[in-house]
Amino acid sequence: MAGLNPGIEKFDWSLIKDVNINLNAVKENVSNLVASKCLSSYHRAAWLLKAVTCIDLTTLGGDDTQSNVARLCFKAAHPISADLLKTYDLDYSVIHTAAVCVYPSRVIDAYNTLKKMKMISKINIASVATGFPSGQYCLKSRLEEIRYAIQEGANEIDIVIDRSLVLTGQWLTLFNEIKKMKDVCGEIHMKAILATGELGNLTNVYMASMVAMMAGADFIKTSTGKESINATLPFGMVMASAISKYHVKYGFKVGLKPAGGIRTSADAINWLIMIKELLGDEWLSPKLFRFGASGLLTDIEHALFEYATGLKAVPLNFTMG
């Protein structure tokens, strides 16, 4: 993993002063970055295999059980079939997702399964916490939820911020809340979910990104996946811009995790290309970039099958079972 972002002791108002993000300009820049890229099937396959290693394979349903979490862990450990990987001349044992992501109550199921599979040191266990997805619980209960998830075996915590603090401009309160969450996380990596689709505008997205990083977020994450608007490339571009500025000023590298609505191979490649162009090759690693996804992996496996065989993929051949 990349080193932890310690954050800063005192709120730096200069990082969010006089910020004004133009939506049309951002959309145009995104279009210029991804529209001109024409890749061969071979290079697309390479990008997609990279994408697989950056996935936080996720289940966040009200009907989650021990058995479907166990299946999720198995798929995380073996995301692409060995036969398919052989066509790309790759050792299938080195291809696995970055993490599994579950509710706090299901962390123990993930931990026990990965330990039994001897993958506990290879695949991280991420847990959403702090009143997911709304972030509207009292601070005391949100902090206790972090402690519980860590106690159960999580080594990454995906917190969710209180969006009302962004919408009412209470930046210092937001900073202090996230800083308390960071203190509870300690040496555990903390990802801050901004719920960008509920922040009103791109200026708020930029400012919330910066405040979360100042408070010690190791990753900033677009969405819970429960909002009507989730991960979009314009949100990602604004967040990457904030990451770059924070890195230049304080020297700490913060990761980016788009989540929610990323379902196709084309989506994944566009995100990876944008990150490469904006932040550089160092961010093309699970240490600094993740996809929060559930359905994306299936589409990637279908695409890899088609590139390798020239045949249309049959969904039945790629179940998680």
Q: How far apart are CA 191 and CA 215, in angstroms?
A: 11
Burial class of residue 251 in the structure, from the number of CB atoms within 10 Å of its CB (0-12 exposed, 13-18 middle, 19+ buried): exposed
Element (H, E) at 108: helix 107-116
Token pair 């290309």 is at which residue? 273
Token pair 């300690």 is at which residue? 186
CB 199, CB 163: distance < 8 Å = yes
Q: How far apart are CA 242 and CA 216, in angstroms?
A: 14
Strand partners, 189: 156
Catalytic residue set: 158, 221, 257
**Maximum separation of any 2 CA atoms in the chain, in Å:** 58
CB 316, CB 78: distance < 8 Å = no
Q: How far apart are CA 193 and CA 191, in angstroms?
A: 6
The string of DSSP letters for 178-206 reads HHHHHHHHTTSEEEEE--GGGSSSHHHHH
Task: Return the SS3 of 247.
Answer: helix
Burial class of residue 173 in the structure, from the number of CB atoms within 10 Å of its CB (0-12 exposed, 13-18 middle, 19+ buried): middle
